[in-house]
Amino acid sequence: MSESLPAQVRDARDRTLQLIAGLDHWQMMGPRMDIVNPLRWEIGHTAYFYEYWILRKHLGEAPVMPGADSLYDSITIAHATRWDLPLPDLPATLAYMQEVQASVCRHLEQDPPDPQRDYLTQYAVFHEDMHTEAFTYTRQTLGYPAPAFGAPAPNPAGGGLAGDARIPGGRFLLGATPHSGFVFDNEKWGHVREVEPFQIARAAVSNSEFAAFVDAGGYHERAHWDDAGWGWRLSQGLEHPVYWRPRGDGWEQRHFDTWQPLRPHAAVIHVSWHEAQAYCRWAGRRLPSELEWEVAAAAQPTPDGSGLTATKRRYPWGDAEPTPALASLDGDSLGTIDVGALPAGDSAFGCRQMLGNAWEWTESVFAPYPQFTPDMYSDYSQPLFGTTRVLRGGAWSTRARLIRNTWRNYYAPHRNDVFAGFRTCAL
Write the pLDDT tens digit of every residue in 24-50.
999 999 999 999 999 999 999 999 999
Q: How crowded is the C-beta side of 247, counted as CA atoms within 13 Å?
A: 14
**Is residue 169 domain-resident?**
yes
DSSP structural state of residue 382: G
Question: CB–CB of 279/218 below 8 Å?
Answer: yes
User: What is the C-alpha to C-alpha distance for residues 119 and 99, in angstroms, rounded to an integer?
Assistant: 21
**Is residue 148 domain-resident?**
no
User: What is the C-alpha to C-alpha distance for residues 369 and 173, in angstroms, rounded to an integer?
Assistant: 12
Domain final position from 106, 141, 176: 141
User: What is the C-alpha to C-alpha distance for residues 316 and 297, in angstroms, rounded to an integer?
Assistant: 5
Q: Please check whether residues 120 and 174 belong to one and the same domain.
A: no
Q: Please check whether residues 254 and 293 belong to one and the same domain.
A: yes
Q: Please check whether residues 333 and 201 belong to one and the same domain.
A: yes
- Range of the structural domain that residue 406 is part of: 153-427
Question: CB–CB of 30/42 below 8 Å?
Answer: no
Q: Please check whether residues 28 and 133 belong to one and the same domain.
A: yes
Q: Please check whether residues 32 and 179 belong to one and the same domain.
A: no
Q: Please check whether residues 13 and 127 belong to one and the same domain.
A: yes
In this prediction, residue 367 has a pLDDT band, given cuts at 50, 70 and 90, of very high
In this prediction, residue 249 has a pLDDT band, given cuts at 50, 70 and 90, of confident
**Is residue 146 domain-resident?**
no
Q: Please check whether residues 167 and 58 belong to one and the same domain.
A: no
Q: Please check whether residues 342 and 278 belong to one and the same domain.
A: yes
CATH number, domain with residue 169: 3.90.1580.10
Q: Please check whether residues 278 and 159 belong to one and the same domain.
A: yes
Q: Please check whether residues 84 and 190 belong to one and the same domain.
A: no
Question: CB–CB of 375/119 below 8 Å?
Answer: no
Count of domains in the chain? 2
Q: What's the predicted TM-score (pTM) here?
A: 0.96
pLDDT digits 0-9 by tens, 190-227? 999 999 999 999 999 999 999 999 999 999 999 999 99
* pLDDT at residue 371 in the model: 87
Length of the chain: 427
Q: 157 burial class (0-12, 13-18, 19+ CB within 10 angstroms)?
A: exposed
Domain final position from 141, 174, 192: 141
Q: Please check whether residues 163 and 82 belong to one and the same domain.
A: no
**Is residue 147 domain-resident?**
no
Domain final position from 86, 114, 141: 141
Q: Please check whether residues 262 and 401 belong to one and the same domain.
A: yes
Question: CB–CB of 54/121 below 8 Å?
Answer: yes
